[in-house]
Amino acid sequence: MTKRAPIPDHLSQRPFTQPEAVAAAVSRGRLRASDLRKLSRLIYVPAGVEPGLADRLRAHLGVTPAAWGSHQTAAGIHGLAVPPWLTDHELIHLSKPHGLPRVRRRGVVGHEVRFRPSELCFVDGLRVTTPARTWLDLAMQLPHEHLVALGDQLLRRPRPQFEGRAEPFATSASLGELLSAHPNMKGVVRCRMALEDMRVGSDSAPETLLRLAILHAGLPEPELQIELRPGDPFSPSGDMGYREFRIVIQYEGAHHDDEAQRLADARRDRAFRRAGWLVIHVRLEDLREDFGGVIRRIKRGIRQRAA
């Protein structure tokens, strides 16, 4: 029995294309061996390897050079938070320019779109839609509150020490210009409505959903990233709140379970309470209940402090 030639190391832990295999002197016959799995036409992956989104997209782009990653695939590459129904990346979304046939291959959802070159970018060598164009492309798949939450991620001011960038993905003005450039595209009207409700200052999708729930309940719009001592760079701050009523509201996501973060949270809460503020904590369980209990606590706090 003839011993199989080993797959070259640089192809052994990721999907690879037939042209890559040929360039590495892997014969076509070797590609039919049982230790390789065919992901799609001209794309193979070693048995036992479960490739991530970026590696799968890279392979697909390698055999469809006119295409780019879009929709939830682009959102995943950018690390944008989307609702659970858009986090299953079993299928790769690829777009091609209007007038070219859409991609038709196993494992791919193809789109034919009108676009401007400025609406594409590269992330680790992968050509994908910009975060702003991704927001527009996903408009028809997202209810209003989630479209606002995705948009808030584009407007938020990043923390350079953690994210490696100093500028937001977009501004309200640049998003308005994007929508004006595609007046007849499906989703534009939904994005215009979302843009009216988007704000700078929401650090996570749950914070946006909380803010929208507060407004839906008829309460005043809260101030975002509210500081105990405005203008003081060392002032503690909360996610949102009402300075008039001295109420601060803090959404505690998973990272607040970290010991160092818990200590920082405790110091923040003590500072606000010593200054006479009511501190309202919001957790994942509240999100699952559509913030009903939180809304009641906020209303009660406002009534007591307005008396």
Per-residue pLDDT at 196: 98
pLDDT score at 257: 63
Give the contacts of 169 (CB within 8 A, at least 6 positions apart): 130, 131, 132, 153, 154, 155
Cα 282 → chain centroid: 21
CA 59 to chain centre: 22
Query: Mean pLDDT for each consecutive 10-residue tract of the chain (307 residues)?
Result: 81 96 94 94 95 97 96 98 95 97 95 97 98 98 98 94 90 98 97 98 96 98 97 95 97 72 92 97 94 97 91
Structure letter (DSSP) for residue 136: H
Q: What angle do CA 143, 146, 147 make, to 5 degrees?
A: 80
How many Å is the maximal CA-CA distance in the chain?
90
* Nearest alpha-carbon partner for 94 in 64, 133, 50: 64
- Per-residue pLDDT, 1: 46
Nearest of 299, 283, 291, 293 to residue 145 by alpha carbon: 291
The answer to whether residues 250 and 218 touch, using CB atoms and an 8 Å cutoff, is no
Which runs of consecutive H residues, i.e. helices, occur in the chain?
A: 18-23, 53-63, 71-78, 131-137, 144-155, 160-163, 172-181, 188-197, 205-216, 259-274, 284-288, 292-306
Give all domains of the chain, ordered by start, each with its CATH number: 9-51 (no CATH), 54-197 (no CATH), 205-306 (3.40.960.10)
What is the value of pTM for the model shown?
0.93
- Confidence (pLDDT) at 2: 58
